[in-house]
Structure 1
Amino acid sequence: MGRKVTLATCSLNQWSLDFEGNLDRILKSVEIAKTQGAKYRLGPELEICGYGCADHFYESDTLLHSFQVLRMLLESPITQDIICDVGMPVMHHNVRYNCRVLFLNRKILLIRPKMLMANHGNYRELRWFSPWNQLRKVEEYFLPRMIQEVTGQETVPFGDCVLSTKDTCIGTEMCAELWNPRSPHIQLGLDGVEIFTNSSASHHELRKADQRVNLVKSATTKSGGIYLYANQRGCDGDRVYYDGCAMVAINGDIVAQGAQFSLNDVEVITATVDLEDVRSYRGELCHEPKPCHRVKVDFSLSTDDDIYLPAHQPITWLFHTAHFGDCDGCHFVFQAGFLLPLSGGVDSSSTACIVNSMCVLLCQAIEDNNSQVLEDVRRVVGEQSYYPQSPRDLCGHIFTTCYMASENSSSDTCNRAKDLSNQIGSTHININIDIAVKGILGIFSAVTGRWPQFQANGGSQRENLALQNIQARVRMLLAYLFAQLSLWARGKPGGLLVLGSANVDESLTGYFTKYDCSSADINPIGGISKTDLKSFLLYCVEHFQLTALRGILAAPPTAELEPLTDGQVSQTDEADMGMTYSELSVIGRLRKISKCGPFSMFCKLIHMWKDALSPTEVAQKVKHFFRMYSINRHKMTTVTPSYHAESYSPDDNRFDLRPFLYNTRWTWQFRCIDNQVTIKT
């Protein structure tokens, strides 16, 4: 009797409603798995239709097309002689479920619905699916006629069941079930299930990958077993990025690891593991089984002559640092390239460096003979014979940067922007916006007879703010104009996507002008803190030799919207916001992750900041933040879509569901804080 089994799991770049492309990628993964000797193939969650279909899950078309793809999978010769585990929505008794469908040789073995749903943060599964909450219960599912014609089956098992082959037993988990305190693998392991599979659609956040790895290792440390983890890769049509990390573990050790970030649409990870290692590991454990419903299949994952087949050995997982994740995690769908207003500060420079690092990845993929990447690059560049000579060469073809100067701009920021552009190779433009600003103010003056002044010149605060905002909004208009026509002016086809550069900390307080150059087609850094952006730029200095970034990192952040003093910048971001970026990061995490209102935040910060601030000063910081937050919350309703990378993002489009109309005085909450300050003093 055989003891070693070869199993395959994968990361796929599936797209919502791209049924044809999704089918091709599934078939390719099965083909690779078979080539590598696997007898079982696991794919990502809802891989047939794509995980991010959102309200398209309500449409009968989505269910219909999923079954049409399933039929083609069943009929394909590629899927023969291997157990295929695919994900799709299924409606049972008029209830919609998120399911795994396991099939072998044109027969569906079982359908396993998800039992514990992801319904927080970016996830809304309970909006579209119901959980299967009938533990250990299995019902008959009547197959659609199109499937019956292929399988010859009228019904198949549907529910909380496992697959029993001749040599082992396989049980299913789905994504969030691994993270839940009632994870199915616990009872499955106690009942003798030896192989656990997890089909996931887990998005990337900075510092999140180690949580997944630890959960998978823990799942098999407690009760032994083999764990296969599959994940989605890419964007799937939404603002989150699914980062792969397919893996195989046995008895607490990772034995096979997939890439966290990759340009490959299909990545298959296989591992050969010894079932006897699981049985020996479990020999000393106490079991109290709650029997699972077993679906028997006349099939073996092992062979009788596998004694000389080498088993995979434990490996050490290689984690990316947070700043490396920044540069790898953002791949975009674009027209003929990008345009970025490059100010010479940390934020816009980070966006520029992300594009540069993307060019590095693209060139590396082309050197590795990735024909799909080369085809995509040629399509974007518009030259069918183009072959990038270097990342800098590619950057020059797809990336345009522009410095938009005004009378309030310094030569230092202009030079920093130019130096960075020269080093990464972007096409750089210098634009002076003073004529446009004065023209708009001239229209206002002609109508009202008044000409507003900066505070430095005797104007009011309202005038000062309006004059800053008009500069910022003119930059947005010019950015879109040049994005649409700059290639045309150079005799080239196509347009450019406008990139934004407002970080997550600025979004917390609304420290940006609504509809200014933070309004873009996509904002790569909108979910990343200033602290992580600085770490990323340091990484780029070291690994890409972008020495121009040293001056950018050393300069104080500034919007440069107020008059210069003796030719020098007098306005700084942190002075304008009334707090430092590091303080904002702490406040942001308390607000979102720790779910603190004003009073709870004050109670925590008086201890966290006791060495630097008095209770009265902490109270002032907290109240100032919540005033700014609530006054500017409306800006989050129009914020540019950004790559979700930080768990305290204030983006209310999907992630941060809070009001945008507030009583900005917070009278009750602030009174509670003041009472505590009075008691303390």
Structure 2
Amino acid sequence: MNELGYIRVAAASPEVRPADVDFNISEIKRLISDAADKGSDIVLFPELSVTGYTCADLFFQQNLIEKTESALKELAVFSSDKKIAIVVGAPLRAANRLYNCAVVITGGKIIGAVPKIHLPNYNEFYEKRWFTEGSRCESGCRLDSDLTFISRNTLFEIAGARIGIEICEDLWVPAPPSCEMAMNGAEIILNLSATNELAGKHNYLIDLIAQQSARCRCSYVYSSAGLGESSTDLVFSGNCIIAENGTILGESERFIMKDKMIIRDVDIEMLRNDRVKHSTFSDSANGSYDIIMTDFAGCRTASMNQHEQNGILRHISSHPFTDGDPHRFRERCSEISSIQAWGLAQRLRAINCKKTVIGISGGLDSTLALLVTVKAYDMLGIDRSGITAITMPGFGTTKRTRSNATCLMELLGVTMLEIPIGEAVIQHFNAIGHDPELHDATYENAQARERTQILMDMANKTGGIVIGTGDLSELALGWCTYNGDQMSMYGVNASVPKTLVKYLVEGYADTTDNPKIRKVLLDIIDTPISPELLPAAKDDSIEQKTEDLVGPYELHDFFLHGMLRNSFSPSKIFRLACVAFSGVYDADVIRHWLKIFYRRFFSQQFKRSCMPDGMKVGSVCLSPRGDWRMPSDASSSMWLNEIENL
């Protein structure tokens, strides 16, 4: 395992010739060398890859079994100078029974073998004709050849990670062995398979592997028989698939006339953090598994160049909150906005309220909040006029944002109000003795609190509730005014980070049938993010740009995801950010804003400790009643010191 907590795994599907062990071993060796040269810690081959899966009654031939045993010894010798762990499939004899096994080899030794537990004996499969179920194999049973031993309740310690092995059908049964393996510590599940191709089966297989990796909170590495297997009755295309905690990291192309191999880095540290956080994960662990320790520590322990994209063989998304299948963009936006709207609709229904008040600035957050509120009213069948949308121009409001706010309210058919705050704020400055020319925190926060006072009082007047517009990124950074825009009666954006806010507004623009609404939304998306609390420039452009002050939101959302979702250290977040944003931000810039992120995250917890209600829509939130509980006076020194030493 390297310093990022990664292990590099390879899934390979070589060309085979049924019953031609010499040919098969030569192809396996070639792919082992290739995987080792590419820095793989483990390479997995398909079920019965030493002999070929489709040997049928040839498995009863003594010379084929003996040839297999000698070939495994040959493979062990071959592995002695290869810094890699090898897992191949082979038929093995023990106690006058034949088992379909996965054989683990590394450092010149055959470490052990694991039998297939569930043997398919239906439709095109009749494995019970040749093999004995692994459940009938005594733990630690010696092979007839004394080559090694077979053990069904065994995990392997390889390169610093716990490895569990199941074979093909084991995955497809109601209670796969990998579930119990994972609960007893297996972090990577290897599956040696020989899955034939049928119409529609591949998509089911992909879903099955992704779901099993999610259920077991593990990495799942799958290698299936392919080129060269007999096509007498079946077709095998050689699927190689690597998944991690519900996500497919990579899969090979099907139906190509050559061997296949995919290599990915799997994040063991992330999996361990996730298992610790989800306390129910190991509740059913029974401790009945033996752990076989290997001498192999992994070949990728050296430091990696933090600036090299090619140093990591996995996709590092620069926008983890929005990264997904682009073909499902509309579906994903619709789902998230529906969760937001449903939460608000449920709240309005529960309190028997048909009136809401919302402040509209012409910026992204208030735009999304208004769109969500409109959708909630439509769900409830309530007239949109019950939404009182108020624009409150202040000292920094520009014509662009004011116009967009007004146009959007008109187009959505809500009740519109414009209440300028300038005179009230000046009166307040006079009352407290503040110089209006001093553009400090008092100058800015007085405007935010005046707006909140207007919204709250209008809610009292109309018998409604104030809809909060602040987002998750602002809460993380504390970029909100305490008892100002930090406060509302229900926050629909509370768990939506800034990058996702933009994504969702784009989704609304993409799906609306009204070209005027689309035009306004697209202009709002293009408007610089700003609280507009400082006077505008002479040309009426926005002078106060949030990202100039607190840093790029795409960086902060990346930091937030790494810290909150994955519990990564600052150094790991920094290293990953350097990869994800290569060519966009240099290391010094990333380091600077990472320090700002941690400093603000710790110092601004008091604002999150008294957050109003608001639904969770994604994998993380900062509600003190939800994902995040933290003392407001916690020390940040350990995290900041680590950043200083980067």
TM-score, normalized by length of structure 1?
0.45
TM-score by length of 2: 0.47
